[in-house]
Structure 1
Amino acid sequence: MKNLLFLFQYILRPRTVGAIMPSSRFLASKMLEDINFENASVIVEYGPGTGIFTEQLLKKRLPNIKIILMEKNQEFYNHLINKFGHRKNLFIINDGAENIVKYLAELEVFNVDYVISGLPFASLPKRISKSILTSTKRVLNDEGKFITFQYTQRKMSFINHYFEKMHIKREIRNFPPAYVLSCNNERSI
């Protein structure tokens, strides 16, 4: 069911969905490898889609960790509400990631430990990508990490402009294979 939902949304909105299938559990595991759940208090997820990463976050988190999902696509948002809407300390917002600062203020969250992203920066308009990355850098705490994946290396230097320290991993057990970028919020000296 969720694969059909994903495929249908890709056909309707290829620039914002970015892939024909949801991410694999292998990619989800690799995306969460750099998260220290013992010390985290707030995790934001951009573009959770059908909730592959969200499922893993919910399994691994401690009960006091707040998870904030930013999903712009109405159909995915409805799916996430139906699937996860009853969970404590989980906030599902139907808006674009570029507006994260506004929603954090409403939730009285002043900084974030991790932002994980399933957004397709390669197909998003450049001004939206800039706004998302600028806002992300602003909301992350000093030790915060931005973790995203991309199918090509095309946008790596663009992302690297905002997060100078970037560790790259490859996950080939995903269709298509993906690069996982784990970016620190601190600038290199």
Structure 2
Amino acid sequence: MPRKISVNYKMDGVLVFVQEFLKHPLQIGSIIPSSRYLERRIVAASGIASANIVVELGAGTGGVTRAILRAMPQQAKLLSMEINPHFHTLLKNIEDDRLIAHLGSADDLKEVVSLYDLDAPNVVISGIPFSTMSRSAGSQILEAVSSLLVPDGRFVAYQVSNRVAALCQPFLGSGKTTTEFLNIPPMRIFQWDKGA
């Protein structure tokens, strides 16, 4: 079961997030963690209430991770991938048997899903900044997302830029977009449903 998060833990997470953003600005999509309003919007867009397998790319300090865990079924599994070792350490401190915290790159998505012997995901949620990576790297990740998702699976990406929409078009077509203004910076939430 998820444990309660203390105010100090949240503040420590924000401090680590800002420090890591300053060190790796191209790797992290925002200067501060997602707001609770953005977390709620991401969860609502993803439809994870009936998911068995959820994959999160770019888990950061775990705010969205915790929101996913609160919303998904008790028998579901969440694979959260994070490339930053400091953020990964924070993720590993989340006490929930449904969570698999993996240190690694979204470039290796197919291999990591296979490594943990997981079924195809119902939902993939991504906070990695597609705007700061090469077109080929972004396309490779999105091709992996598209091929791994179950029929009728859903991909949700929250981004400052709309570059992910163009990159994802060849794999999942046109998606829906909303914006959460109660976040710094305001964040676009993109949603695609994979055809059966």
Fold similarity call, TM over 0.5: yes
Q: Name the CA distance, whole Å, in 2 between partners of 1:147 and 1:112.
A: 12
Q: Offset at 1:34?
A: 2.8
The aligned counterpart of 2:3 is none
Q: CA deviation at 1:165?
A: 3.5
Which one of the candidate residues 176, 193, 196 is aligned to 1:167? 176
Q: 1:80 aligns with which of 82, 91, 101?
A: 91
- Work out the number of aligned pairs and report it: 185
Take 2:17 and 2:115, find their aligned partners in 1: how far apart are those partners? 30
Matched residues in 2 for 1:99 and 1:120: separation? Answer: 16
SS in 2 for 1:115: strand
37, 60, 63: which one pairs with 1:52?
A: 63
The aligned runs of 1:97-136 (5 Å cut-off) are: 97-136=106-145
**4+ residue runs over 3 A deviation:** 35-38
Identity %: 24
Q: 1:26 Cα deviation (Å)?
A: 0.7
More deviation, 33-42/19-28: 33-42
Please tell me the residue identity of whatever aligns with 2:109.
I
Q: Which residue of 139, 144, 155 corresponds with 2:148?
A: 139
Deviations for 1:120-170, whole angstroms, at most 9, x for unmatched residues?
Answer: 100122222111111111110011111001112344222223221401111
In 1, the alpha carbon distance for the partners of 2:47 and 2:159 equals: 22
What is the deviation of 1:38? 4.2
Q: Distance in 2 between matches of 1:61 and 1:39?
A: 7
Give the letter aligned to residue 12 of structure 1. K
User: Which residue of 159, 181, 185 maps to 2:190?
Assistant: 181
Report whether the alignment pairs 1:71 with 2:82.
Answer: yes
- Decide whether the 8 Å contact of 1:26 with 1:171 is kept in 2: yes
Distance 2:119 2:13 in 1: 34
Does the residue aligned with 1:143 lie in a helix, a strand or coil?
coil
The CA distance in 1 between the partners of 2:91 and 2:78, in whole Å, is 13
Say whether the 8 Å CA contact 2:55–2:78 is kept in structure 1.
yes
Question: What stretches of structure 2 of length at least 5 have no aligned partner?
Answer: 1-11
Question: Structure 1 residue 4: deviation in Å?
Answer: 1.2
CA distance in 1, matches of 2:47, 2:188: 20
What residue in structure 2 maps to residue 157 of structure 1? 166
SS at match of 1:122: helix
Aligned to 2:153, what secondary structure does the other structure show?
A: strand
TM-score normalised by length of structure 1: 0.92
Of the three residues 25, 31, 43, the one matched with 2:36 is: 25
C-alpha change, 1:30 and 1:69, in structure 2 (3 Å) is same
Separation in 1, partners of 2:73, 2:175 = 27
Measured after TM superposition, the shift of residue 19 of structure 1 is 1.4
Q: 3-state DSSP class of the match of 2:150? A: strand
